Amino acid sequence: MYTKKKASAKATNSAKKSASSIITDIRVYPVEGDKESNLLAMVSVTFCDLFVVTGLKIIDGKKGLFVSMPSIKTREGKYKDSAFPVTKEFRKVLSDSILNAFDALQEDCKNEDESEDD
């Protein structure tokens, strides 16, 4: 299933407002299959309509949903983020925007399922 969702972070101050305007597109690709897996979706994010980062993941963790950054495996067998926000503030804006897009997708799918049942 493919969906294209626009970021919809609500900004409360000018720093957040400018940070959220950097994100111009969020695409969420739900992962179907293994019920045992905590991976819910793969995500790609476009910044300023100029640069795309793929390989972000929405994970269902012990404390709820979170966004995992793209990573590479090191020679020691550990994983290290290959792309990441520089500030805590932008990490929060990015994560919130991605999770909002995922929630909107889930709601759309739920509404489609209900309309098919009618």
The string of pLDDT tens digits covering residues 58-90 is: 999 999 999 999 999 999 999 999 999 999 999
CB 7 within 8 A of CB 24: yes
What is the per-residue pLDDT for 36? 78
Amino acid (1-letter code) at residue 4: K
Cα-based distances in Å from 38 to 10, 65, 106: 27, 9, 16
- Full-model pTM: 0.77
Residue 54 makes CB contacts below 8 A (sequence gap 6+) with 42, 43, 44, 70
The per-residue pLDDT for range 20-40, each reduced to its tens digit, is 789 999 999 999 877 778 999
